[in-house]
Structure 1
Amino acid sequence: MVCFFLLSVNGIYAQSYKVAFKDDMCHCIEQENLKRRLTENTYKTCFRETLTKYAAQIDAQIVEEDPNQKFYKGQLARKELVLALEYELIYSCNTYFEFLESLRVSKMLIAREHAKETDLEAYNQQVALTPNSISYFMRAQLQFKLGNLQEAAADINRSLDVNPYKANVKSTRNELLLLAWVYEEQNKFTDAIAIYDQLYSGDFDTKIAVLRALAHKKSGGTSASVPNVIKTNESTNDNKNSARGRRSATRTVKTKVTSDQVIEKKKDTSSLKKLFKIDNKKGN
């Protein structure tokens, strides 16, 4: 009973520290917003500042005698925190949510500003000459920029239909991302969220987790209703294996990773390792 009590207290303590960390992160972002225009680096800046207040609490929860293993697990705990808060803050921090949403809208409006109706005829000819997935997708992109949402959705679906690799969500990631965006513009948030759930590829796929959280919040969703597949997993080997099992269960076919996606993931992984100074050899 004593052990159970201590474990319960430790769990409550850990949860309260994460809630406080999240609140301080939001406060930092709000203060930055008052001082200057927010940028995509604001999140990282606030995380570093907030981390200095909670570093001792993070390390205190790691029970490990080996100093190298303790350091390694501490870095993993920090990595998990920075990944999780990137989308969890969307639900609890309106300033952060509004910034990300305005940033996305701004990029869309800039793209539409440069789109030309006169270019549509060239894309129509391209589709007529070579009605393959690439031609349909290129026209779909222009249709979206022009604000022709129904036409864009029709072209994306046609692109997926004629794509010989349509069963591979990695091969059709860009098409599905655009289709989800079209659905969001049409206020079909349930359809958009379903696509994000289909695309989510694991703990490092924060781009999809963030997009899902934005769509979910706009539809009235809360962090309590986020499915476990989107939440960051624990970093023990057992949990990593179970996470792989959950991801495999959500796919009906095996997928082949393209070289561009491998390069992109390597860049993401190396940047995180550089940020937290994680050495793979220490984790083996």
Structure 2
Amino acid sequence: MKNISIITTLIISIHISYSQAYKTAFRAEMCDCLTTESLKRPLSENTYKTCFRETLPKFANQIDALIIEEDLNQKYLLGQIARRDLIVEIQPELVYTCTTYFEYLERGKLSKKLIAQESINESALEAQNQYVAMSPNAYAYFSRAQLHYNLGNLAESEADIRKSLEVNPNSANPKSTRNELLLLALIYEENQQYEKAIAIYDQVYMGVYDSGTAILRALADKKNGGTISNIPKFSEDKLSSVNSNSRRNGRASRSGKNKEAGQQDAKAKARNEKNRSKKKSDTSALKKLFKIDN
């Protein structure tokens, strides 16, 4: 049993190392593509998606090689999941490893702020002051905080956010105050208080597919001198865990071979139907994420 455990650990370590190796090459290819495109035209979200589509086929075999699964339907599903995870996981990693991508995201943040500044004036602040005086609730304070932030009044904006959190009965729940906390994190970044901003991003992070928060965290950490090793390891062993579960399921299936043939056929049929359904669902989700037409 001990030898089996050692061998299993070794296999998992090899797979993780192989995964890290291909992702390093994948990031380099993505960065080269983005840098080349930036010389032709300003980068955009569509440019990023185009580079991803061009890069992914070069690494498809390496992605699939990490999946230990005999059942072809299940292997396909796990491959789709791995590709979907790669879409969201690679973005914060590129913040650290690709200067072109980092600068593109920073320009985007600045552009949004400048556009917001152009659409407001001091008279809007007067109206917001009246609103707070008439209805001093959490939303009123948060609205004025946004206005102050766009006007560049960072101290006033922070004070209003704290007041909004103070009067909000759900202030203990980060999900209920997500917008307020994200604005506070941006204020901390403006004041170069990056560690405070990072702490907030960790607080409001909603899971592996919350790529927006993961990117904001990476940007703040990068400006604070951080490296790619600072990315939280929320799902580093995900593939290894999935492969382990698949092997356990396979052993359980083999141990039940002495059951009646009719029961096996019924279960196999149900499993195939479920796999086909999952395949359609995962493929649809992947297309939706990339906005690929059927």
Normalising to structure 1: TM-score of the pair? 0.80
Tell me the equivalent position of 1:115. Answer: 120
Output the CA distance in 1 between the equivalents of 2:196 and 2:243: 33
1:30 aligns with 2:35: yes
Output the CA distance in 2 between the equivalents of 1:9 and 1:76: 20
Tell me the equivalent position of 2:88. Answer: 83
Tell me the equivalent position of 2:250. Answer: none
Going from structure 1 to structure 2, the CA distance change for 1:148 and 1:8 (only over 3 Å counts) comes to closer
Identical-residue share of aligned pairs (%): 55
Tell me the equivalent position of 2:59. Answer: 54
- Give the stretch that moved more between structures: 40-49 or 172-181: 40-49
Question: What whole-Å deviation, never above 9, does each CA across 1:105-140 have from its counterpart, x for those lacking one?
Answer: 100011011110111111111111111101111111
Verify the 8 A CA contact 2:68 2:243 in the aligned structure 1: no
Going from structure 1 to structure 2, the CA distance change for 1:175 and 1:43 (only over 3 Å counts) comes to same
Displacement of 1:276 in angstroms is 8.1
Normalising to structure 2: TM-score of the pair? 0.78
Runs (5+) with no aligned partner, structure 1: 241-268, 278-284
Output the CA distance in 1 between the equivalents of 2:83 and 2:231: 21
Question: What whole-Å deviation, never above 9, does each CA across 1:243-280 have from its counterpart, x for those lacking one?
Answer: xxxxxxxxxxxxxxxxxxxxxxxxxx975463589xxx
Tell me the equivalent position of 2:45. Answer: 40
- Structural mapping, 1:78-157, within 5 Å: 78-157=83-162
Output the CA distance in 2 between the equivalents of 1:130 and 1:11: 55
Output the CA distance in 2 between the equivalents of 1:5 and 1:190: 36
**Partner SS for 1:41:** helix
Verify the 8 A CA contact 1:233 1:239 in the aligned structure 2: no
Verify the 8 A CA contact 1:160 1:166 in the aligned structure 2: yes
**Partner SS for 1:202:** coil
**Partner SS for 2:185:** helix
**Partner SS for 2:78:** helix
**Amino acid aligned to 1:83:** V
**Amino acid aligned to 1:37:** P
Verify the 8 A CA contact 1:112 1:145 in the aligned structure 2: yes
- Give the stretch that moved more between structures: 27-36 or 86-95: 27-36
Tell me the equivalent position of 1:248. Answer: none
**Partner SS for 1:151:** helix
Question: What whole-Å deviation, never above 9, does each CA across 1:72-108 have from its counterpart, x for those lacking one?
Answer: 0001111121111011100000000000010011000
- Give the stretch that moved more between structures: 231-240 or 92-101: 231-240
RMSD of aligned residue pairs (Cα, Å): 2.6
- Structural mapping, 1:1-284, within 5 Å: 3=7, 9-229=14-234, 234=238, 236=241, 271-272=285-286, 274-275=288-289
Output the CA distance in 2 between the equivalents of 1:148 and 1:85: 35
Tell me the equivalent position of 1:262. Answer: none
Going from structure 1 to structure 2, the CA distance change for 1:7 and 1:134 (only over 3 Å counts) comes to closer
Question: What whole-Å deviation, never above 9, does each CA across 1:8-60 have from its counterpart, x for those lacking one?
Answer: 55443332211111110111111111121100222221111101111111112
Output the CA distance in 1 between the equivalents of 2:159 and 2:284: 38
**Amino acid aligned to 1:200:** Y
Output the CA distance in 2 between the equivalents of 1:132 and 1:276: 40
Verify the 8 A CA contact 1:79 1:276 in the aligned structure 2: no
Larger-gyration structure (1/2): 2
Aligned length in residues: 248
Output the CA distance in 2 between the equivalents of 1:6 and 1:226: 24
- Give the stretch that moved more between structures: 4-13 or 73-82: 4-13
